């Protein structure tokens, strides 16, 4: 049995039944109970239907029938592979956790699998809801590492990583490799961005340090990355200054793509960043390059206000109704009229009326050429 690859984390009863189809007596998996969080359920295919056995915790031990007790899931599964002992059948064949096994092979085949032995984790630089971000050393190169403990989220991150293997642009944070451990932990290794997030960079330096030329450069870097994603039909969904990172030599790069896709395809609009999300994406979950353009307008506003939180002085619950009535933020202090004009174009209520990233990039270059000739 070895590794716990039959453990599928938090999946629903229906998902478990789909995974155990077509029926094959003795095919099994263990899931975390959705009704009793923290409890487990053993799901076994038996004569064409799936039986769900609740695994009961009692004084730190696990049991199905409250006669046999086990220290952990491994022991419990091991026991029932040898003997049905009251179940409809003995456990014959584990339904392997698709994602991790398949992904491991996939990344190895495509040359993105890294060797865990070559990676030294040095210190935590950020805590996300999915796991820590750490600084590491990979064969002498400083790298950033997202560490995802095994769970259904690992699946979403595998999706992110496989998306990242197909994208390469100077203004996208570059994936270097992926490590999928047997136990199902996942490490996504990317280039290290020494100066942290753009929002912190802007706030900590402010207008005394950063001139207009610098702000325009950041705006262009992000726009070029987004033009590349647009050309590749890839929607970011969570574009904001907090998801743009700054390298040691002050180059801004877009990060964190791929994640949000999983997050927002579920009915969870509560998690969407309201102030950055376009009205149609909030209302009908219509995400597109045009909804990314809306977010880009907000990001431009963040850049020119040196990292202020958008919609200052408006209570969060009033933002959406006001925006839907056509409210647009005022220009940040000292923002060139031409740049503010671009923001407003990004905030056109009808998505079809918003400019493309290509057009935005051309206009920004035009503004830049004019400023340089002054």
Q: Which residues are annotated as a binding site?
A: 146
Task: Classify 179 as helix, strand or coil.
Answer: strand
Task: Classify 195 as helix, strand or coil.
Answer: coil
Rounded distance between C-alpha atoms, residue 319 and residue 301, angstroms: 16
Catalytically annotated residue among 47, 132, 238, 249: 238
Phi first, then psi, for residue 148 (nearest 5°) are: -115, 120
Q: Which residues are annotated as part of the binding site for ATP?
A: 146
Nearest to 351 by CA among 300, 304, 306, 286: 286
Q: Name the residue with tokens 């909804």.
A: 291
- With DSSP H G I counted as helix, E B as strand and the rest as coil, what are the percentages for the chain, rounded to 5? 40, 20, 40
Residue 177 in tokens: 């490799």
Task: Classify 263 as helix, strand or coil.
Answer: helix
Q: What is the DSSP code string of 144-186?
A: EEEEE-SSHHHHHHHHHHHHHTT---TTBPPEEEEEE-TTS-E
Rounded distance between C-alpha atoms, residue 203 and residue 114, angstroms: 36
Cβ atoms within 10 Å of 65's Cβ, excluding its own? 11
Q: Is 238 among the catalytic positions?
A: yes
Q: Which residue numbers are catalytic?
A: 238
């Amino acid at each position: 049995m070895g590794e716990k690859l039959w453990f599928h984390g938090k999946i629903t009863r229906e998902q478990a039944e789909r995974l155990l189809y077509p029926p094959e007596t003795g095919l099994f998996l263990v899931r975390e109970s959705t009704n009793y969080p923290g409890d487990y359920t053993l799901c076994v295919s038996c004569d064409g239907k799936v039986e769900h056995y609740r695994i009961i915790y009692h004084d730190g031990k696990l049991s199905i029938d409250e006669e046999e007790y086990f220290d952990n899931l491994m022991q419990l599964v091991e026991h029932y592979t040898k003997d049905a002992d009251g179940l409809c059948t003995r456990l014959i064949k584990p339904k392997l956790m698709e994602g991790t096994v398949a992904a491991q092979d996939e990344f190895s085949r495509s040359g993105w699998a890294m060797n865990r032995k070559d990676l030294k984790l040095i210190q935590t630089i950020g805590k996300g809801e999915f796991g820590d971000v750490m600084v590491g050393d990979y064969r002498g190169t400083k790298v950033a590492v997202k560490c995802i403990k095994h769970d259904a989220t690992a699946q979403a991150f595998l999706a992110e990583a496989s998306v990242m293997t197909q994208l390469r642009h100077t203004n996208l944070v570059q994936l270097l490799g992926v490590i999928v451990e047997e136990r199902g932990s996942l490490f996504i290794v990317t280039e290290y961005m020494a100066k942290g997030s753009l929002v912190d960079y802007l706030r900590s330096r402010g207008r005394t340090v950063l001139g207009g030329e610098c702000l325009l450069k950041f705006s262009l870097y992000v726009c070029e990355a987004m033009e590349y994603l647009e050309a590749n039909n890839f929607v970011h969904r969570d574009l904001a200054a907090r998801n743009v990172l700054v390298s040691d030599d002050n180059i801004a790069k877009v990060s964190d793509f791929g994640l949000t896709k999983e997050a927002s395809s579920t009915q969870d609009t509560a998690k969407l960043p309201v102030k950055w999300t376009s009205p149609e994406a909030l209302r009908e979950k219509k995400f597109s390059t045009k909804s990314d353009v809306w977010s880009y307008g907000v990001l431009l506003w963040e850049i020119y206000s040196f990292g202020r939180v958008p919609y200052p002085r408006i209570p969060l619950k009033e933002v959406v109704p006001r925006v839907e009535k056509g409210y647009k933020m005022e220009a940040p202090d000292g923002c060139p009229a031409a740049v503010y004009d671009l923001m407003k174009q990004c905030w056109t209520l009808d998505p079809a009326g918003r400019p493309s990233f290509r057009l935005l990039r051309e206009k920004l270059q035009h503004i830049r050429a004019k400023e340089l000739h002054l």
